A and B are shown apart, each in its own frame.
Chain A
Amino acid sequence: MAVIVDLFFQLLQMTLVIAVAPLLTGLVRATKARLLRRRGPPLVQPYRDLVRLARKEAVVADTASWLFRFVPYLVFAATWVAAALVPTFATGLLFSWSADLIAVIALLGAARFFLALAGLDVGTSFGGLGSSREALFGALAEPAMIVIVFTLALVAGSTQLSTVAAYMASSNVGLRVSLGMALVALFIVAIAENGRIPVDNPATHLELTMVHEAMILEYSGRHLAVIELAAMLKLVLYVSLIACVFAPWGLAIADASVMDRLLGAIAYLAKLALAGVALGAFETSIAKMRVFRVPDFVGAALMLAFLGALLLFVSRTLK
């Protein structure tokens, strides 16, 4: 019986992340529209877009190989599995131990790797441009993320996200300089990884400014729908990650009652809404960077995270 309940909550987590992903993107878009004094599309517009895309016939370039049609599902699956492993409303779910935070980062790295290949597959200049820039951003953001993991793991004594979140929710954390640095670094990485302003503009199709959009330029129909959904999931993943580590309030700790978990879910949705509005406001208030300014921006995250981790490494006495 217990196993069935556990399995139920694990499946609930998987469906929850995928169900709210378009909503979060819709919320960000709506906030941005409101701040620009536009009415903007309704909140559910991303759902409609996905359905519309999925129903359309897919147009695939003549020069595309089998990899091109295979990649969207793979990228989606890797992102979904990664998103399902980040605690949203509760920790210690059935499969939460099957991969730790390093593995989650590597799963996202796998998604990026295949997406970059898809960008090169058709053999157009835009695809190559997107892939090449994405490879650069990834090469900067991924080590920054790993170093952030160093900080979290040293504070919580584990790289298991469930354990980290449970530790952060407990009262013995306190304020730490390292965690502050890690938080700032994590913000920067999240912005870079999700291709938000100022690193990349998800709304643009203006040739020279796009990175992610250039990579997926040749996709259409259901393939595009799946890739878009994966991008939305990635945003949810990063928001959940920041929420569960730095704002673990309301999170149901392992073996909590069903009621606690329900409360956790409500708290989680509130956090998502807050994050969506904040992201929208942030994006409206800042201009996009030139591509070669981005390494400085993400490099700052790497340095901050490293400084934070170094502080912990040297301050830990022999136990």
Chain B
Amino acid sequence: MSSVMLFLSGDAALLALAVLGATVARKSYAPALVYFCALAISAAMLIGATIQLLGGITGGGTVLPLGLPWIGAHFRVDALSALFLVIVNLGGAAACLYGLGEGRSERSPERVLPFFPAFLAGMNLVLVADDAYSFLLSWEFMSLASWALVMAHHREDDNARAGYVYIVMASFGTLTLLLAFALLAGPAGGYAFDAMRTASATPGVAGLAFLLALIGAGSKAGIVPLHVWLPLAHPAAPSHVSALMSGVMTKVAVYGFVRIVFELAGPWDWWWSVPVLMVGAGTALLGVLYALMQHDLKRLLAYHTVENIGIIFIGLGLALAFGSFSMPSVAALALTAGLLHAFNHSLFKSLLFFGAGAVLSATGERDMEHLGGLIHNMPRTAFAFLVGCVAISALPPFNGFVSEWLTFQAILLSPYLSSWMLKILIPAVGALLALSAALAAACFAKAFGITFLGRPRTDAARRARETDRFTLAAMMTLAALCLIAGIVPGLFIDALGPAASILVGGRMPAQLGNAWLSIAPIAQSRSSYNGLLVFLFIAASASLAASFIHRFASDALRRAPPWDCGAPDASPATQYSAESFAQPIRRVFGAVAFVVRERIDMPSPGETRPARFDLRLSDRIWDALYEPLVGFVERASLRLDRLQFLTIRQYLSVVFGALVTLLVVLASWP
């Protein structure tokens, strides 16, 4: 059986599971059954995809007699799809494990169980589709399944609005992708990807298709300013679905962008990299600023996905820039950085959403201002969440650092580009990347510190209990993978080699042969990093210091009330809150992304009413872009509303007029 058939049968099994889920959803055994079967299928596909990726097997395509009769449905698996199949099925398997644990306490399983396997199947199908028709069909299927999952708790506040914004943005994205494919297919209608690869579009048409793909795939990935649906929709879904949407579905969108732009749109112009780099840098900075201002834990994570998508797009933009000036090895470095970050982000973002889900089900709270001190009652969840926080903050020796380090190495090679615009743009992008990485660390110090450390701010937080062992297993597996990908990055970089050589015609030098498993993107003398040694050194020095002090100095320990400069206050309300933690950063950077309105109501001396402080943040992009758009649509629909109340004669004249106009257009068409 060829490998593509393996994935297709996996997808068919997932779809069958979705039907099964719909029929048995209300039974008590349904969650265990559905999640277990989905886990088995995902695990099988994960193994298949890993073998495909590491073995470098080039699976042939297949054509099934489905879809449009004169096209058929083409499917194919190459190194790029294999990489993303690994990402999807790894995230999927972890989400199933979480489902076996926390997912069993779902309030309305009949709204989750049918759509969860369907969502997984949709994402997998996008990756194996090899013609525009099946690609768009799977893409839309994936969007609709995830929309149904977002609406699982549709009676909660704001969820209906989140679902509405999501479906509008998803339809808009699919529309632009449809137009992009139409441009690439040309008048002859070569909708199979093979036909598009061989057809050479004119530079203008290809450029237009590129822009449409950037908008279409980018809106699904969450690039600024098309990100508005993401922080609404991702947190609204059940937590393991949030993990899938944030950690995995955004990667499918990245896949769509890479597939269309790097491969189908043909040889690209250097100017293509400019919008990608600008959008990437803006997305990274604004994403992390949005995240810093959030105190809803799941929404913070969703906003932070926006930042990471920005980092991935910076890598892709650099690859486009280097590729267009025929520097394939550097382009491969930048592309590897972007793709590796996509993989890394799928690991730690799923982990963090699982942690947020465990906190949510232990306390019923998503608002960090009502949490605190959870490390005492949920030590294992806290540990796994901490690993995720360190990894996403790009701190060594974890995996997030490796991909950002590679991106910086690519940026440092950009002076060799022969375009003035890029020479000025890329250092600015590098500075913004550094700024957003530093802000990300602040953001996750806040997320972990306010949620898990300190004293519990509410009774719910005080009574929290540790989550179950399936959820812990899911989190610990991902945490271990974060560490492994951080200390032996060479393994993962080498696995990306075939994908890079398909797309940019070059690959990074093989890393596994380097001494001590270090990585050196260009040459050892230029730059190298060894996560393993850094990890070992830190572990050795920390234990050396600890054992030395315990051996030769004191190891006595006394517990006492906190000192707090001699004036401790018993009320947990005196702690720093999420809001106050972010206040200095808001004062310095807030105006970039928000219109900040602070109102202080200070009673004059002698008055007994309490002082009040009121803070309003409004998103500049929503105000500037979407509010006018919504207003325009409303006004236009009011105008068009008149068409509903015409007399029969007026309708007949409208029909006649339209017919004549169309005929005139048709007759005068060259």
**Contacts from A to B (Cβ < 8 Å):** 51, 54-63, 65-67, 73-74, 76-78, 80-81, 84, 95, 97-100, 102-103, 106-107, 109-110, 112-113, 116-117, 119-129, 131-133, 135-136, 138-143, 146-147, 149-150, 153-154, 157-160, 163, 205, 207, 217-218, 221-222, 225-226, 291-292, 295, 302, 306, 309-310, 312-314, 316, 318-319
Contact yes or no, B554 A221, CB < 8 A? yes
Contact yes or no, A107 B396, CB < 8 A? yes
With A122-B562, A143-B431, A292-B587 already in contact, the answer to whether A138 and B395 are too (CB < 8 A) is no
A81 neighbours in B (Cβ, 8 Å): 534, 537-538, 541
Contact yes or no, B564 A56, CB < 8 A? no
Contact yes or no, B542 A310, CB < 8 A? no
Of the listed residues A124, A133, A154, A292, the one surrounded by the most CB atoms of chain B closer than 10 A to its CB is A124
Contact yes or no, B541 A80, CB < 8 A? yes
Chain B nearest CB from A13 CB (Å) reads 13
Chain A nearest CB from B588 CB (Å) reads 5
Known: A61-B559, A65-B453. 15 other contacts (CB 8 A): A59-B558, A62-B562, A103-B534, A106-B396, A106-B401, A116-B445, A117-B448, A122-B454, A135-B445, A135-B581, A138-B442, A139-B585, A160-B527, A221-B554, A310-B428
Query: Is B28 positioned at the interface, with any CB of A under 8 Å from its CB?
Result: no
The chain A residue with its CB closest to the CB of B375 is: A65
Query: 1/0 per residue B416-439: CB within 8 Å of A?
Result: 111010011011101100110111
B434 neighbours in A (Cβ, 8 Å): 142-143, 146-147
Q: List 22 A-B contacts (CB under 8 A).
A: A60-B560, A76-B542, A80-B545, A81-B538, A97-B530, A103-B529, A106-B394, A109-B395, A109-B441, A123-B372, A124-B562, A125-B576, A133-B584, A139-B441, A140-B588, A143-B437, A159-B526, A207-B565, A221-B554, A225-B549, A314-B423, A316-B423
Complexed CA–CA distance, A103 and B530 (Å)? 9
Contact yes or no, B446 A135, CB < 8 A? yes
Chain B nearest CB from A7 CB (Å) reads 14
Of the listed residues B372, B386, B444, B534, the one surrounded by the most CB atoms of chain A closer than 10 A to its CB is B534
Contact yes or no, A116 B373, CB < 8 A? no
Number of chain B residues close to chain A: CB under 8 A: 95
Query: Is B171 positioned at the interface, with any CB of A under 8 Å from its CB?
Result: no
B138 neighbours in A (Cβ, 8 Å): none
Contact yes or no, A62 B526, CB < 8 A? no
Which label, helix, strand, loop or mixed, suits the secondary structure of the B interface? helix
With A98-B518, A117-B448 already in contact, the answer to whether A139 and B542 are too (CB < 8 A) is no
Name the one of A61, A110, A135, A217 contacting B442, with C-beta atoms under 8 angstroms: A135
Contact yes or no, B450 A139, CB < 8 A? no
Complexed CA–CA distance, A55 and B376 (Å)? 29
Which label, helix, strand, loop or mixed, suits the secondary structure of the A interface? helix
Query: 1/0 per residue B339-378: CB within 8 Å of A?
Result: 0000000000000000000000000000000001101100
**Contacts from B to A (Cβ < 8 Å):** 372-373, 375-376, 379, 382, 386, 390, 393-396, 401, 405, 408-409, 411-412, 414-418, 420, 423-424, 426-428, 430-431, 434-435, 437-439, 441-442, 444-446, 448-450, 453-455, 516, 518, 524-530, 533-534, 537-543, 545-546, 549, 553-565, 568-569, 572, 574-576, 580-585, 587-588
A125 neighbours in B (Cβ, 8 Å): 564, 569, 574-576
Contact yes or no, A139 B525, CB < 8 A? no
B379 neighbours in A (Cβ, 8 Å): 65-66
Chain A nearest CB from B385 CB (Å) reads 12
A127 neighbours in B (Cβ, 8 Å): 564, 576
Contact yes or no, A110 B395, CB < 8 A? yes
Chain B nearest CB from A290 CB (Å) reads 12
Complexed CA–CA distance, A264 and B416 (Å)? 35
Complexed CA–CA distance, A291 and B538 (Å)? 32
Chain A nearest CB from B283 CB (Å) reads 17
With A66-B379, A125-B564, A159-B409 already in contact, the answer to whether A98 and B554 are too (CB < 8 A) is no
Complexed CA–CA distance, A225 and B552 (Å)? 14
